[in-house]
Chain A
């Protein structure tokens, strides 16, 4: 039942925030704070208290776990919903879900905090939308019924659309509609694939169901499987975003208000990675293997192209947006490599990119609130004016370029090592992206914060509320950078299970996979015991 609370708390807080805002607008902020902090506390408590269970599940089922079987979930909810169509309300939680939920609520909380001063118009409606998004995102990560997944997947579009269209910057309506149409079109392609899978499975077995665990392993001709895989890939590649379906992202991220950018970069685009690991690859392992070369090429192009585009921007926020394209290229690379190292890297990358990019977006937002521009040509020498802000920006820029000792380095390193075993060229070219990342990150620092102070801007440095937010994010990145094991251990069971589901395909040559498991887990086997 705890899973229902993750969706219900923000879902109930949402109308509440809107209602209280009529009499007292500021109360809406507190409602929203509670609506995100409460589930965050709950999920953190669950994580801490279930750490043993996660370990036990892994030990009990070991690297030979049969996949997503009932016993390996931390919790689940199963109820009939639309019986005539075989649709059930099926929520389940494992290690990866736990991580995604923590991320969702943490980013929701950050979004509320980051808008504390910035959002003054329609405060209640704004927090209604933020909480609604949070609820839908929690639903996306918890659903194991494909219809339910699609339902939540589409549900978060509306509030996100409003957040961009109502509180965004200059070209907000254009960006909002572009975001909406891209996501909706690709989502519908996924729906067609889901339905085709539903009928293929139904015709073969007589059981018409959208239950993912039952649809797993459905037999079909390889051509069909490839087409269906493309349907899923379209939806997740747009979300991720993968080159060349990324064009909505720079617009949406740039035009969205800070809170919107944080949720977009922090959680929303992670659905792409999550969906691929959870659904696409396990459902169509052979098709993914056939697609691997193209997938990796797209990933590498995304890494390098995103980095080069970031370097070419003059708009600070757009620069940060393009770095997302580059970083998500690594995620795509890791998923197509599909070995333990790469997948663990993907999980760490999901978390660290959310933290570092979320922080950068908040930073740009606070800067824009103070100097009313995002144009780097109008900045320069800001460090002297606001040293705390400059130092913070330096830290997150370094995190973004993958400085050893910070989480992002661990993530990208793991992904590249994992990829190396599958495709050396992809790993080499991906590593080139790291070099370009160094260029854009340092160039950004140079243009905005270093150099001549030409414009005589005067503004306040970080206030305590902001300092606290950044301190928490910095701490998290440093901890993950030096000690990523808890994160990896939490996701380990999911990663192993996902690999088990694809065991029969050339995607997971078992011997190699088991050997890698030994390498990483050998170092951590005693951890926490």
Chain B
């Protein structure tokens, strides 16, 4: 089934996209990213897949009714959910649900690949990361397959040497076929370590470089640059694999997986996600930390503490304690959060961790020492025992959610950072002071509630917007609406009687799932993962349409629409009976970056522009709630 999907831009001047050889449809070009945002591209040739897997969109969601319900849900929280079910059921029986194309609350899947499993090529992956030593010894390969990878090391090494000999600034190879980019190979030479990334997705060279830098930063964070250099100074052909431990490889696997298959705007935007909190709550957090640090006993021992952080599940920043004039680099914090929320979740509540860590962007040859403690809410049973008010239901759904993703931990963490390896007990004392204050003021509950509830699209007067990401450049932080809006109904299918919405999904399986599971929960997990992945690729795509390969915007301020639409396809030929007509927007200015994805079927750009403005206004107005502005400065 070949579909011709078309992608256009607001200033579309080159309608030269109609005919494209269908044979090339298996590969991904990102031609538009490399050229100008005025190019329009035939989608069929753009992506590896005819947009076949619409399965996950197969609920009867193509209805404005559903949308209205969702947006009113906020205000209707007190009413019983069953009422909604009944309402929907009666509407269905009356055949009120519009069957034809209307504004949908979902976004279509256009990035899915059909290659999976089909190709017999030895390294069929869409994405690959290699780490090797300058002598050509393999250190790490994302997909394993060592025997295959070994042979490639020589080639990678040769390419790097070529770059070196020719002394170019170039560090990438783009394998293209006509207009279409098949793969990008990006190299990062950090002698004695070489890193390479391969991608056949819509990532820019700069994106891939950032990803490589993060992998390299992980190595530095555990070894430090000084030790790395020393290891290789003895012998060029030192085998780093013997020095790294299982934990390191697991962490590298985890990082690669979360970059490649997860929803991780952190890497894409180079920013931290911030937890939405009341201004007063955040202020209280700041002042609690500050009070402990400025306590006479502590203040006497200067330089004991460098930084303090309270971070909510998923690496959402709550509060920062820092010395005047100093901040921590985003990459360093990403590394720290990735360790906390992937590795230390087995930590008991009363266990405290004293961790030497090298922050590569802070000082790549020295170690800092982190006091880490998970902040458990006092009564873990409470949540599940609550009467099922809508909030509680949502909360428990969220909890399941987080169980579904190992990425997301359910406990916030307190981190105190010192330069002195002997200061554990000093920090422990500060930490205990902070923790008991947090308990006294019930702040942990608030953090927890905020991290599971967040805000939704319904909180913002932005019509037709499915989801958005807003990054404040000044704060190097970003925010986005809660992600589980859509699947909320499906998720509850597992602990509830089958809801209306899940009825159609029972036999649906998601592409790439080798063993389709009809069990409600696992199905929902898979669907949620696929949904997040889809969202991530949308964002990557729209961001790279507003930026060149090196990651800088085309203009100081750029506003770009990207539209995907069916090109003269009959409705019957579409898997869902729903047209693809998706509009996205990227708006970059010196102060903020806004990326938004509209609901399927929205094509009124003026309305979207208005919504975008409303979002920006809303974010600015609520800046104190949305971002950690100064933090607690001492």
Q: State whether these chains interact.
A: no
